[in-house]
Amino acid sequence: MDTMNPLLDFSGLPRFDAVQPEHVAPAIRQLLDENRALIETLIAPETAATWDACVQPMLDAGERLSRAWGIVGHLHSVNDVPPWREAYNAMLPEVSGFYADLGQNLALFAKYKSLAASAEFPTLSPARKRIIENDLRDFRLSGAELPEDQKPRFKEIQEELSALGAKFSENLLDATNAHAEWIEDEAGLAGLPDDAKAAAKAAAEKDGKQGWKFTLQAPSYLPVLQFCDNRELRARMYRAYATRASEFGPAERDNGPLIERLLALRHEEAQLLGYANFGEVSLATKMADTPAQVAAFQRDMAKKARPFAARDVAELREFASRELGMETLESWDLAWASEKLKQRRYSFSDDEVKQYFPEPKVLAGLFRVIESLFAVKLAPDTAPVWHPAVRFFRIERAGKLIGQFYLDLYARETKRGGAWMDEAITRRRILGGVQTPVAYLNCNFPAPVGEGAQMRPATFSHDDVITLFHECGHGLHHLLTQVDELPVSGIHGVEWDAVELPSQFMENFCWEWDVLSAMTGHVDSGAPLPRALYDRMIAARNFQSGLQILRQIEFGLFDLLLHSEFVPGGERSFMDLLATVRSEVAVLAPPDWNRFPHSFSHIFGGGYAAGYYSYKWAEVLSADAYEAFEEAAKTSGSTLDANTGERFWREILSVGGSRPALESFRAFRGRDPLPDALLRHNGMTAVA
């Protein structure tokens, strides 16, 4: 193998210090050729339909391709400069085409069916049986059983869907970066926290200008909407943010036509596979059974949350009228007025809390939680990285390395928005032992401000801390697995609507006093979070929780109906559907010109199509699971209970996708999940 190309070096960690865009095409094409040659060997009559002769070679070759292409995809997400974008997009059709062909290979499908029907199958481990069963399902979902004359069209659909998803994300990133607001008079920034102003001033100086620069990147945009008294600035930034990648900007960045095409192609794919709609295709790999079941779940949650949300809105409007002199609240006023109400009611601001969460303290506290729960040790490690701000860590148990992860915390113009975990290397058994897993943890938090001795550490809002714990929950699912078969190791093979369980579970610790008291220190004085301020945070925990729940259900129900009841190309547009969903579940409606779907990258640029409901579905599981730690705390005095943590690791994290998620939950809780804990955590037990 040509190890001169760093993408073809699988001896260790990714070589981010060496890999360049020009390495992509030759490496990926070589791996595609190797995989195709292997498949020809495997489908030959003389190759036995056994695990060792057929499945294992496929897994070995497939991992090399997925690891190399994973590096390319990762760099496309975190370093989206033109050369990397071009290198990724140039090979995307070839990679998509390969996987489309693979899924439709009848001869290979026949080998797997033969293995499933053979005398060997009952002797396989549960993990290997589940792999075969999943593969048979995925062959069918990939069109393996389609008539030969329909397979080319199915492949074309897969290739175009991949290209459209990438283009959607690129348009959104470009549209986000295209807008800036320049403020020359500091009086126009009244109410804005000092650290947000300092970051804006640094951004202006970086561009060689005076004043303050604000962008649509979350660390810049969100403080303006929440704190800035300048209503005109809030309105301009809200409009720019809400119309990103739409017909209100350059045509080449308009995601509207892409959405229509994506929906039409997904519907056509479903029809080819014999499903009524794409929602049914999506749910074939999830815990939920039918779109109707998911719709009923979401509507039931909306019914429970709506009275609380209606109360939230009535209180906000009354406060705005009485205290702020505002008879009407526009969309760009909501976060600002809510912050004012929150400060008045609970006597603290989010910015005040933020000063107690400097990055070093937060990371130390996060690591303490992980170490206390799961009997591991985390320590800094070294590895080549893609940006100087990226750090690398190792996880050990009993002095033995069990996993490593990259931490990329700060927002950059070349990095896609949001927060996410992805895999670099997955645990599996190889010759000579076990391959330890490696993860990417990515966020978009504000970076430290200043230089040298004058540098001020990054400070995180409490919401940022929750986001960090969330992504680390995904990371732990990947890194703490004990499964040695790659397709069901870590997050692999886990039903999509259960994959959020560990991430949302970890969020709960961000509300515990014994956790927060040990992970806070004022950025200037070093003083820990005062207990009185913590008590006010707890009192405010469910502030506007009804509104927040309805917002998530609005997104989830829109996504579900878009992929199960909506007719692409019909008389109603996707914006019409969104208006209908809002009229059913929402208590607040944005302006008609708001183009939220054009930035809904979860379902159009990610893997959540007909699956956004998963966040709320898994929240039921995670809240119920966390209740076990609350119960243990009544005896041990802390939710950082090692015995319960060991059970959670053994029954949930360690087993990965080697068994159905519901079985794992039952093994941990001893029963089916109940929604009671989620309703209690959200304060939805009575309407005052």
231 vs 515: CA distance, rounded Å: 37
| Number of DSSP helices (H) and strands (E) in the chain, helices first | 26, 9
Q: What is the mean pLDDT of residues 72-76?
A: 97
Q: What is the mean pLDDT of residues 432-442?
A: 96
Answer yes or no: do 129 and 88 share one domain.
yes
pLDDT 10s digits, 254-289: 999 999 999 999 999 999 999 999 999 999 999 999
Domain finish residue from 579, 612, 645: 612
Q: What is the mean pLDDT of residues 625-642?
A: 96
Q: Quick one: pLDDT at residue 688?
A: 38
Whether 381 contacts 396, CB under 8 Å: no
Q: Of 281, 278, 259, which Cα lies nearest the Cα of 267?
A: 278
Asked whether residue 572 carries a pLDDT value surpassing 60, the answer given is yes
Domain finish residue from 597, 612, 627: 612
> By three-state DSSP, how is residue 384 classified?
coil
- Domain limits for position 135: 6-145
Q: What is the mean pLDDT of residues 343-372?
A: 96
Q: Of 98, 198, 229, 208, which Cα lies nearest the Cα of 155?
A: 98
Q: What is the mean pLDDT of residues 212-221?
A: 96
Asked whether residue 363 carries a pLDDT value surpassing 50, the answer given is yes
Answer yes or no: do 339 and 212 share one domain.
no
Q: Quick one: pLDDT at residue 4?
A: 84
Asked whether residue 498 carries a pLDDT value surpassing 70, the answer given is yes
Answer yes or no: do 128 and 13 share one domain.
yes
130 vs 452: CA distance, rounded Å: 54
480: which residues sit within 8 A by CB, 6+ positions away? 374, 376, 395, 402, 403, 649, 653, 654
pLDDT 10s digits, 95-141: 999 999 999 999 999 999 999 999 999 999 999 999 999 999 999 99
Q: Quick one: pLDDT at residue 455?
A: 86
Helix (H) or strand (E) holding 45: none
Q: Quick one: pLDDT at residue 686?
A: 53
Q: How many domains does the chain have?
A: 3
Answer yes or no: do 68 and 51 share one domain.
yes
Q: Quick one: pLDDT at residue 432?
A: 86
Domain finish residue from 580, 612, 644: 612
- The per-residue pLDDT of the chain, averaged, comes to 96
- In single-letter form, the type of residue at position 574 comes to F
Identify the active-site residue in 269, 471, 485, 495.
Answer: 471
Whether 405 contacts 438, CB under 8 Å: yes
Tokens of 138: 């995925």
Answer yes or no: do 99 and 119 share one domain.
yes
Asked whether residue 2 carries a pLDDT value surpassing 50, the answer given is no
Asked whether residue 687 carries a pLDDT value surpassing 80, the answer given is no
324 vs 338: CA distance, rounded Å: 11
- Verify whether residue 471 is a known catalytic residue: yes
50 vs 112: CA distance, rounded Å: 8
Percent of the chain exceeding pLDDT 70 equals 99
Q: What is the CATH number of the domain that holds 110?
A: 1.20.1050.40
Answer yes or no: do 186 and 137 share one domain.
no
C-alpha dihedral, 114 to 118 to 123 to 127, nearest 10°:
20
Percent of the chain exceeding pLDDT 90 equals 95
Answer yes or no: do 197 and 100 share one domain.
no
Q: Quick one: pLDDT at residue 515?
A: 96
Q: Of 264-268, 466-470, 682-686, where does mean pLDDT reach its minimum? A: 682-686
Answer yes or no: do 36 and 137 share one domain.
yes
Answer yes or no: do 216 and 258 share one domain.
no
Q: Residues of 612-645 as b/e, b for ≥16 C-beta within 10 angstroms?
A: bbbbbbbbbbbbbbbbbbbebbeeeeebbbeebb
